[in-house]
Chains A and B, each alone.
Chain A
Amino acid sequence: MSTGTDHPAPAGEPREQSAGEPPEHPAGGVDLAGRPEPSGQAGRRRWLGDRIGSVEVLAALLILLIIFRDPLAGALDDPRVQTWTTVFVSIMVQAVPFLVFGVLLSAVIAVFVPRSFWARALPRHPALAVPAASAAGVVLPGCECGAVPIAGSLIRRGVTPAAALAFLLAAPAVNPIVLVATAVAFPNNPEMVLARGVASLVVAMVMGWLWLRLGRTEWIRMPRRPELDDTSRGRAFWGAVRHDVTHAGGFLVLGAMAAACINVLVPERWLQTLADNAWLSILALALLAVLLSLCSEADAFVAASLSQFSLTSRLVFLVVGPMVDLKLIAMQAGVFGRRFAFRFAPTTFAVAVLVAVGAGAVLL
């Protein structure tokens, strides 16, 4: 569809963009307009659009890949490349169900749940909506890949960003599946489950309240989504599913590639030398949680295997991982805009490390 920027509408076709403009700004002042495209890019893409469509490019690409399948397989023979491919594919396979179900839920929120529902379901005062939204995260089983599009939909439907962000942080960290996995992974340290749940909830609420005090709505630039205002609900629903899977899924691929690189390139023996220093080990595991981008349902088992590290540093790993990691930063940059992600992720990282160290000192 036309972006409404500088593309002349092809003759005989209505410019539905201007006609279908949503009458009000639905997200409480959040800028939903797409960024203006640099005209050079738009020109190039129009050229592509006129002569070679994406479908043709895609078909040519697939045919080339099938022709060059054997040399490609030969290039993957190196054990490091092979391990990289295995890890990359397995992160994607693991995440696809969570991504698809998260996207479905977010499409339901965006299309079928009326705006008025959120006004009734959440406390009117934003400061009270933050803990309510964090608590709502407890009952939604899923991992972080699904939470990003859901939080995006919530903001679109008029939920205050502070509450939606608190939900985004809490949902993957404190849901029952994750807590049970943590209990199974740490059979001798049941206090780990409590510490993880409490610390994650506190971080989610602190970040929500911080957003209320310091956050600026113009940091969140959500791409315009004309298809959500479609009069046909079926078309709006499937349009949202299609868009979110390709969009969030594409960023998930970026994150999975980065995580696979870390998995292959950082040998575990480096960690051994860091484990002896208490503060260094906390920082090391916090960074490792960001880089590895593990699914929140699995990270407890990895943390349990890092037994040379102190319990507190492993708690930091478990609290930071579901809230800040490479694939989440990539997905948040895609859904909420880069200006948002590059402020939100480092702040969350700092708050999560501090809260987890505090919780570790008290509870472990």
Chain B
Amino acid sequence: MNRQAQAVVLLLLGGAVLRASVTDLYLRYVKEGLRPFLIAAGLLLVVAAIMTLWYELRPALTDDPAAVPADEPDTGHGGHGGHGHHEPRVGWLLILPVLGLLLVAPPALGSYAASQAGTALSTPARSDYPPLPAGDPVSVSVLDYAARALFDRGTSIGDRRVRLTGFITTGPDRQPMLARMVLSCCAADGRPVKLGLSGDVPTGLPDDSWVEVVGRYSERLGRDPVNDAEIPYLDVESWRQVPVPKRQYD
């Protein structure tokens, strides 16, 4: 891969990263906090590509080798830039993430990943749970509900009505469960938080459909066969299908 091709690949990679970070595409793969760094890295890649092309093509613009500025005596860098014999061939692989971001743009982790991994709540994350905010039903995240239901045995929920948003995944007993992926850094470390559903269970929906459920705390507990962790339940009163949210991870 010669230097000009490297410059093109850098330009594509920088452009792909920039495009993913100025749109919401990056939220499928990483945490929101990474955005400024992604934008900065994308810009730097573009600048590196432009500087490479600048140094490669500038001497070529002047046909006469003597016209090369005197402060750059090493003319060899420009004129025959097409022959990058020792340049890294492994750089070709950088086209793959470019394709992944520009052409394929794979979806966020969903029910397949959730069924492969054990539920993330296995050690108590906090010891005290503040009272739920006002509202009826009150909106809480799947992660918050699951933590309160498991480690607080529902005390801080009481018999309040809660509203949760997550996607449908089929549990080990073929019953639909409500799940949400939790990221700490990027989708490679994404872990699911799973909730069992009782009462008015959303049926007839394919996996990965996003639903908003309203319900109350249930004392029932299940077990995740993957890591033998406890899975809390929610007693569903009503549910509706919702569009895929912008932030798919908790």
Contacts and interface: CB of A to CB of B under 8 A. Distances in A.
B86 A301 contact: no
Given A45-B85, A90-B186, A83 B228 contact: no
A76 B88 contact: no
Q: How large is the interface on A (under 10, 10 to 19, 20 to 34, 35 or more residues)?
A: 35 or more
A260 B226 contact: no
Interface string A4-39: 000100100111100010000000000000100100
Contacts of A299: 189
Contacts of A2: 83, 85
A251 interface: yes
Contact of A86 (B38, B95, B109): B109
Contacts of B186: 90-91, 93-94, 295, 298
A190 interface: no
Contacts of B189: 294-295, 298-299, 301-302
A76 B106 contact: yes
A348 B189 CA distance: 24
Nearest to A95: B186
Contacts of A37: 85-86
A247 B10 contact: no
Contacts of B76: 1, 13-16
A111 B104 CA distance: 38
- Is chain A's binding surface mostly helix, strand, loop or mixed? helix
Q: Is the interface of B mostly helix, strand, loop or mixed?
A: helix
Contacts of B7: 242
A121 interface: no
Interface string B40-84: 111011001101100100000000000000011111110110111
A86 B35 CA distance: 18
Contact of A305 (B79, B112, B122): B122
B13 interface: yes
A231 B104 contact: no
B134 interface: no
A40 interface: no
Nearest to A189: B123
A253 to B, nearest CB: 4
A123 interface: no
Contact of B97 (A92, A181, A263, A297): A92
A148 to B, nearest CB: 13
Contact of B10 (A80, A224, A242, A264): A242
Interface in B97-112: 97, 99-101, 103-104, 106-112
Contact of B103 (A20, A53, A65, A104): A65
Interface string A35-75: 00100001001100100011101100110011001001100
B89 to A, nearest CB: 8
Contact of A308 (B29, B40, B71, B228): B228
B41 A96 contact: yes
Contact of A292 (B3, B96, B188): B188
Contacts of A302: 184, 189, 191
B201 interface: no
B199 interface: no
Contact of A251 (B20, B37, B90): B90
B205 interface: no
A345 B42 CA distance: 31
A54 B103 contact: no
Contacts of A66: 103
Interface string B192-234: 0000000000000000000000000000000001111100000
B112 A80 contact: yes
Nearest to A56: B5
Contact of A101 (B41, B110, B122, B188): B41
B118 interface: yes
A88 B86 contact: no
Contacts of B88: 243, 246-247, 250, 334
Interface of B: 1-10, 13, 17, 20, 26, 28-30, 34, 37-38, 40-42, 44-45, 48-49, 51-52, 55, 71-77, 79-80, 82-97, 99-101, 103-104, 106-113, 116-118, 120, 122-126, 184-189, 191, 225-229
6 contacts: A16-B75, A97-B34, A185-B184, A245-B48, A295-B186, A302-B184
Top 6 closest A-B pairs, CB basis? Answer: A298-B185, A250-B90, A246-B91, A54-B5, A301-B184, A90-B29
